[in-house]
Structure 1
Amino acid sequence: MTTAWAVIAAATFCWLGMVLAISFLEAPLKFRAPGVTVPIGLGIGRLVFRALNIAELVLAATILVAILVDSPGTAATRALTVAMVAFAVQVVAVRPRLTRRSDAVLAGIDAPRSHSHHAYIALEVGKVVALLVGGVLVFAHSVP
């Protein structure tokens, strides 16, 4: 395994772990904690997801640079590109809609349910699959 591939694998699995821990564990559980109201949960969620997105941006950039230095192969590169595109769509197209809705809820407005949340979750699932496949393929490509 080259140094670039090791960086790709480490960044990929770090990114995967963060998404699984935050999106599929912390996010749904925070609303079940005693005393956590919807506004408090939304406030916490905004902070946590902002931090996650910054970390994701750093990890995606790290993976991209490492791929440009030494590509781990077409299949791994495609899978990781899918993850990066899913992340970009989440941040550019879906998050602003979710932010508008959470702004309304935090302002006390009874905002209607948003389908954007389902789109975010679908992209998150796709990103998880792409990261898992990409990470495994990096390892598979490094085996002689």
Structure 2
Amino acid sequence: MVTAVTFVWLGMVLAISFLEAPLKFRAPGITLPLGLGIGRLVFRALNAAEAVWAVIVVVAVIVGSWAGPAVPVAAGIAVGALLVQLVAVRPALTRRSDAVLAGHEGPRSSAHLVYVAIEVVKVAALIWLGVAVLISAT
């Protein structure tokens, strides 16, 4: 079960964060405000799904028995990365998109780059977790 949840979570992050998000702004007729509005909805849904996957992974890691620390450490990094994104970075992104949607461009924020960097860490942790669970199951 942990393997399936991990790779579904990984697939969702890769598809949305690294495929949908950058491509939406290249679509004909998509303005910055429209793209931001779509992005907010999509990432709110993604983060809600990620929270569910994270809870399932945490419960499975707690009740499971794993050979070595790889599974709990990888799970901790993935869940920790998600928590940092939700608690520390998303509020800054929301404030920035609120300002842009209200017509106040202002200085660009580095929060988006921080979110992407954490997303890369989360992807690496999810790959590590999925592989570690597969190895531990054999």
Normalising by structure 1, report the TM-score: 0.93
1:69 Cα deviation (Å)?
1.4
CA–CA separation in structure 1 for the residues paired with 2:82 and 2:106: 26
Aligned with 2:93: secondary structure? helix
Instruction: Tell whether 2:119 aligns with 1:112.
Output: no
Deviations 1:56-90, CA, capped at 9 Å, x for gaps: 00000001111111133411110111000000000
Letter in 1 for 2:11: G
Match of 2:2 in 1: 8
**Unpaired runs of at least 5, structure 1:** 1-6
Match of 1:4 in 2: none
Letter in 1 for 2:38: I
Q: Which of residues 36, 39, 46 is equivalent to 1:52?
A: 46
- Aligned residues between the structures: 137
Deviations 1:107-142, CA, capped at 9 Å, x for gaps: 011121111111100000000000001100100111
Aligned counterparts, 1:18-97, within 5 A: 18-73=12-67, 74-97=69-92
Task: Indicate conservation of the 8 Å contact 1:94/1:119, yes or no.
Answer: yes
Task: Indicate conservation of the 8 Å contact 1:71/1:77, yes or no.
Answer: no
Match of 1:130 in 2: 125
Which 4+ residue blocks in structure 1 deviate beyond 6 angstroms? Answer: none
**Unpaired runs of at least 5, structure 2:** none
> Which stretch shifts more, 94-103 or 110-119?
110-119
Normalising by structure 2, report the TM-score: 0.97
Letter in 2 for 1:98: L
Letter in 1 for 2:114: A
1:52 Cα deviation (Å)?
0.2
CA–CA separation in structure 1 for the residues paired with 2:66 and 2:3: 10
Aligned with 1:32: secondary structure? coil
CA–CA separation in structure 1 for the residues paired with 2:88 and 2:40: 16
CA RMSD in angstroms, aligned pairs only: 0.8
CA–CA separation in structure 1 for the residues paired with 2:59 and 2:24: 35
CA–CA separation in structure 1 for the residues paired with 2:105 and 2:90: 19
